[in-house]
């Protein structure tokens, strides 16, 4: 395959332009999906290569929550971190670099996900793409930071169940998998309020509907936090549920402001003496659209 052919795989331009309703042919959708997946994979590979040069710093960063948790354990509780298998160290290095690449490039691949959805939106909805690109990445990274802060407490609770006369041998690969799930769950959870705001901006969800279902959404948030957090301690659950609840309340306020502004714009520029589209005849209880005669009614 020529260089031009390879570069063509990374282009998402449809062969048939989208219609007036924003619809695209299925082949063009698949071509665009392939192009965006290839872009994400290429960026992730570059991120992994860059992360390999900082492996020692990243390893210290990952190992620190375990050390903090071990230092907080009750006296007499013994725990040792080990790496099993001949290929364990190499596999750990690749996993660690991959996690760093996923987190570091999150603004890019989150944008690619949204950009794949955008062609199916109406023109007045596509303007929020820049908002998503500017907020999605920082929110994901903020969730990862919160998860990293909570991690030592969760490890402390889990390791503290070790009997006093036994030594807990923590397999480092298993610990790293636990940490990866913890960080990614927190990162993805922090994206949910952003999608709520975008759905409101697109006219799918209203602020009033969010207000009506607020108690159930909050209960669902705590249930999600309890199920999603790998650790079983209530501290980790609360550290995920409370920020998610606060972000949801903020998204509800934003949705109400958008709805109120949208309502004002709907009547903006109309003269005060302009008749409504519904005319009421004097002495009649029936409401008839203006311009409609009795014979046509």
Give yes or no for residue 93 having a pLDDT over 70: yes
- Residue 251, helix vs strand vs coil: helix
Residues 12-27 have a mean pLDDT of: 57
Alpha-carbon gap, residue 297 to 118, rounded angstroms: 43
Decide: pTM greater than 0.75. no
pLDDT of residue 26: 64
pLDDT digits (tens, 9 = 90+) for 229-282: 766 667 777 878 888 888 888 888 888 887 887 765 554 454 545 554 544 445
- Residue 168, helix vs strand vs coil: strand
pLDDT digits (tens, 9 = 90+) for 129-174: 667 777 888 888 988 998 898 888 888 888 888 887 888 888 888 8
What's the angle, vertex CA 36, arms to CA 35 and CA 41, rounded to 5? 100
Long-range contacts of 104-109 (CB under 8 A, 24+ apart): 104/47, 104/50, 104/51, 105/43, 105/44, 105/47, 106/136, 106/137, 106/140, 106/141, 106/187, 107/133, 107/136, 107/137, 107/138, 107/140, 108/40, 108/43, 108/137, 109/40, 109/43, 109/44
Give yes or no for residue 60 having a pLDDT over 50: yes
Q: Please check whether residue 154 is in contact with residue 233, taking contact to mean a CB–CB distance below 8 angstroms.
A: yes
Give yes or no for residue 297 having a pLDDT over 50: no
Q: Please check whether residue 205 is in contact with residue 199, taking contact to mean a CB–CB distance below 8 angstroms.
A: yes
pLDDT digits (tens, 9 = 90+) for 102-138: 999 988 888 888 777 766 555 655 666 667 777 888 8
pLDDT of residue 290: 45
Share of the chain above pLDDT 90, in %: 9
Give yes or no for residue 19 having a pLDDT over 60: no
pLDDT of residue 45: 94
Residue 135 has, within 13 A of its CA and on its CB side, a CA count of 15
Least confident segment among 218-222, 232-236, 261-265, 284-288: 284-288
Q: Please check whether residue 210 is in contact with residue 252, taking contact to mean a CB–CB distance below 8 angstroms.
A: yes
Maximum average pLDDT range among 23-32, 100-109, 284-293: 100-109
Average pLDDT, the chain: 76
Give yes or no for residue 98 having a pLDDT over 80: yes
pLDDT of residue 276: 47
Of 44, 149, 138, residue with least CA distance to 97 = 44
């Amino acid at each position: 395959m020529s260089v031009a052919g390879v570069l063509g795989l990374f282009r998402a331009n449809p062969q048939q332009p989208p219609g007036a309703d924003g619809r695209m042919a299925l082949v063009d959708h698949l071509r665009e999906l392939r192009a965006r997946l290839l872009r994400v994979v290429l960026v992730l590979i570059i991120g992994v290569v860059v992360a390999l040069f900082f492996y020692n710093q990243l390893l210290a960063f990952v190992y620190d929550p375990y050390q903090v948790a071990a230092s907080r354990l009750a006296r007499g509780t013994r725990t040792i971190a080990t790496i099993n298998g001949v290929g364990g160290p190499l596999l750990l290095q690749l996993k660690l670099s991959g996690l760093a690449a996923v987190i570091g490039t999150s603004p890019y691949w989150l944008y690619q996900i949204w950009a794949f959805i955008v062609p199916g939106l109406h023109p007045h909805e596509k303007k929020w793409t820049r908002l998503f690109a500017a907020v999605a990445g920082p929110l994901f990274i903020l969730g990862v930071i919160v998860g990293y802060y909570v991690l030592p407490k969760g490890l402390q609770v889990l390791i503290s169940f070790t009997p006093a006369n036994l030594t807990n041998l923590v397999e480092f690969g298993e610990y790293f998998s636990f940490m990866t799930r913890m960080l990614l769950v927190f990162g993805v959870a922090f994206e949910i309020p952003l999608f709520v705001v975008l759905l409101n901006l697109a006219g799918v969800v209203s602020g009033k509907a969010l207000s009506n279902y607020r108690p159930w959404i909050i209960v669902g948030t705590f249930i999600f936090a309890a199920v999603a957090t790998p650790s079983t301690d209530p501290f980790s659950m609360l550290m995920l549920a409370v920020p998610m609840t606060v972000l949801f309340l903020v998204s509800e306020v934003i949705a109400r402001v958008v709805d109120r502004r949208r309502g004002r714009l709907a009547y903006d520029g109309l003269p005060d003496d302009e008749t409504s589209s519904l005319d009421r005849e004097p002495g009649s209880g029936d409401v008839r659209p203006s311009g409609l005669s009795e014979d046509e009614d």
